Structure 1
Amino acid sequence: MSQAKATLSGMRVSYDAEPFSEELLAETWHEQLQEWFDEAVRAELAEPNAMVLATADATGMPSSRTVLCKGFDERGLVFFTNYTSSKSHDLSATRVAAATFPWLSMQRQVNVRGTVEKVKEEETAEYWAHRPRGSQLGAWASPQSSVVPSKDSLEASLAGIERRFSDAERVPVPPHWGGWRIRPEHVEFWQGRPDRLHDRLRFRRTDDSWKVERLAP
């Protein structure tokens, strides 16, 4: 145990990225996110659209998990999930969330906080149509976040769904499945720098505009 503690205490990465200044910042948060996202894609990061989603239930108990961002624009970030999942229960109760893109190999993070809303059914249907059929069937079969008796029961559920839609050319969207949009109030762009003097530039929503602020590391 003591050796493990010593190893952990000695783990440290030296950040040496180029400075990220206000002059380099795009005019809007979503344009800046697009720039960094495109760079992450070009760098061939594994699942660059993966983001850690943090929620809290009605009592304030926090929870986090990784989800895939499936779109973003000036309105916010969109991901899709089961509306009966624990994350959806949290979002329905509090209507707020936070998300982080952990682009660690690029010594970058993007942190987002804001309110949430369900996306329109048309937007969900458009995304659903592009999902692999196996993923569509899985969404029907899985009572996400619920306790199940065994893995066999899940596989039996999937087999039943496969039989149900075996003659269907298209699998319909389940009534319990759809998208959430995080409408940002804060968007922080974090760039690792030497001596832990990291660059942290934040877009913060005011009444009718966005303000850019530099945060201490």
Structure 2
Amino acid sequence: MSSNAADWANSPGDEAKRPKKLIFAPGDIDPSITDASIPSAPDTVAPSTAAAHLVTESLRSGVSTPSSTTESQMVAHPARAHQFVSNPPLTVSQMHPTNPLHQFHNWFRDPRLLPSSAPETCTLATASWPSGRVSARVVYLKELDERGWVIYSNWGSREGKGGQVFGTKNLSSTGSNGDVPAPMPDLSGTHDEPILTDNNYTPSSDGSGNRWAALTFNWSGLERQVRVEGLIEPLSREESEVYWRTRERGSQIGAWASWQSKVLWTAEPASLIERRRKSLAQEVGSSAPVIPGDVDETDIDDGRAMLENRVREMEKKFDGVENIPLPPFWGGVRLVPESVEFWQGRRSRLHDRFRYVRGESQWRVQRLSP
């Protein structure tokens, strides 16, 4: 370890300025450094009652915060994290020469990708415009075609990914107060238009959304990732209907019932702590006010009841309906790629990375530095 690193780790003046660590280099810390060797911070307020003690314990983070001394020990020991040595390297000869979608298909069919590992799981990232705020969520790939990657979800929420991708301008409310999910925008003819590229598509600040998005697959058993960047286009209602018919009835009811990303309930921390304090005080026989026995203040209405009421309403609405219709705000979108990267882990983090980049009439293949 360099002297500069040691000075930084042991500098008492800087220690107070650094944020409290909740996790520090998981998997990298030497096994000899245990929680027992890390001094715990003293309680700032001594519990005065059994109830207060229980509240303190229930709110404690349960993790150790390394002191400046243990930081010095940590950075002085070599890392023991995973070193990516169990799989063969990736070379350009293994890449499909002309099409990243075919290359993805080859990787996805690898027999080492067991169905139980849910290899279709991926992370979809979108960004609001013009703020640039990014959000990501785990979704399931449902289709791969010659044009791109297809996922299905609720896109009618102005607060969620629908508002980011299609914008508040296109997601005009179907309700007077804006509480009803809006229909997906009808972009008929999209499939017949030239594929949008970074040269002819720029998000607008007029509320029409930002169709740039990214999709990432992580197959840790094979030490592989696939990173897709491109533009989102909605599927036609007819295309979405095909997949909708494969969903089990409960999922169809749930799709109708959920106003995705709408806030159902809000509480301030102080009120939750006070409820917990009263409940624990009753349990330990404190002198705190007695709560009636038929009232469990730890099981307060947190908005779940509203959702379940919506489910019951939809079950009643579609009672006797054999084929539940596709909601106007629910459907499929396709991520049309501008670039696709195939990543293979290698020893010492010197990973193999090959990226396909869309050109005027064909894909270029590039090797990227790890």
Tell me the CA shift for residue 169 of structure 1: 0.5
For residues 78-132 of structure 1, give each alpha carbon's deviation from its aligned partner in whole angstroms, at most 9, with x where no partner exists: 1111122311111111111001001112100000000111011111000000011
Counterpart selection for 1:50 from 121, 127, 140:
121
Residue 97 of structure 1: aligned partner? 213
For residues 112-155 of structure 1, give each alpha carbon's deviation from its aligned partner in whole angstroms, at most 9, with x where no partner exists: 00011101111100000001111110000000010013001100
Residue 210 of structure 1: aligned partner? 363
Residue 154 of structure 2: aligned partner? 82
Instruction: Give the letter aligned to residue 91 of structure 1.
Output: V
Tell me the CA shift for residue 8 of structure 1: 5.5
Residue 93 of structure 2: aligned partner? 23
Per mean C-alpha deviation after superposition, the further-off stretch among 1-10 and 104-113 is: 1-10
SS at match of 1:135: helix
CA distance 1:45–1:24, change in 2 (3 Å): farther
Instruction: Give the letter aligned to residue 49 of structure 1.
Output: E
Structure 2: tracts of 5 or more residues without a match:
1-19, 30-79, 167-208, 266-302
Instruction: Give the letter aligned to residue 174 of structure 1.
Output: P
CA distance 1:116–1:4, change in 2 (3 Å): closer
Q: Distance in 2 between matches of 1:55 and 1:146?
A: 18
Q: CA RMSD in A?
A: 1.7
Instruction: Give the letter aligned to residue 257 of structure 2.
Output: A
Q: Distance in 1 between matches of 2:141 and 2:256?
A: 21
Q: Answer with 1 or 2: which has the greater Rg.
A: 2
Instruction: Give the letter aligned to residue 18 of structure 1.
Output: P
Residue 188 of structure 1: aligned partner? 341
SS at match of 2:110: helix
TM-score by length of 1: 0.94
Residue 154 of structure 1: aligned partner? 307
Structure 1: tracts of 5 or more residues without a match:
none
Q: Distance in 2 between matches of 1:3 and 1:98?
A: 29
For residues 172-217 of structure 1, give each alpha carbon's deviation from its aligned partner in whole angstroms, at most 9, with x where no partner exists: 0001111111100000000001111101011100112100110000
Matches within 5 A, 1:27-176: 27=97, 28-39=99-110, 42-58=113-129, 59-85=131-157, 86-92=160-166, 93-149=209-265, 150-176=303-329
Contact persistence 2:112–2:222 (CA under 8 A) = no
Counterpart selection for 1:5 from 21, 24, 38:
24
Q: Distance in 2 between matches of 1:130 and 1:43?
A: 22
Q: Distance in 2 between matches of 1:164 and 1:3?
A: 48
SS at match of 1:39: coil
Q: Distance in 2 between matches of 1:83 and 1:195?
A: 42
SS at match of 1:5: coil
SS at match of 1:152: helix
Higher relative contact order (CA 8 A, sep 6+): 1
Q: Distance in 2 between matches of 1:43 and 1:201?
A: 24
Q: Distance in 2 between matches of 1:5 and 1:42?
A: 31
Q: How many residues align?
A: 217
For residues 32-53 of structure 1, give each alpha carbon's deviation from its aligned partner in whole angstroms, at most 9, with x where no partner exists: 1111111267434521111100
Shift >4 Å, 4+ stretches: 1-4, 6-9
Instruction: Give the letter aligned to residue 153 of structure 1.
Output: M
Q: Distance in 1 between matches of 2:128 and 2:21?
A: 36
SS at match of 1:145: coil
Contact persistence 1:202–1:215 (CA under 8 A) = yes
Q: Distance in 2 between matches of 1:4 and 1:94?
A: 34
Higher strand share: 1
Q: Distance in 1 between matches of 2:228 and 2:140?
A: 14
Tell me the CA shift for residue 62 of structure 1: 0.5
Residue 287 of structure 2: aligned partner? none
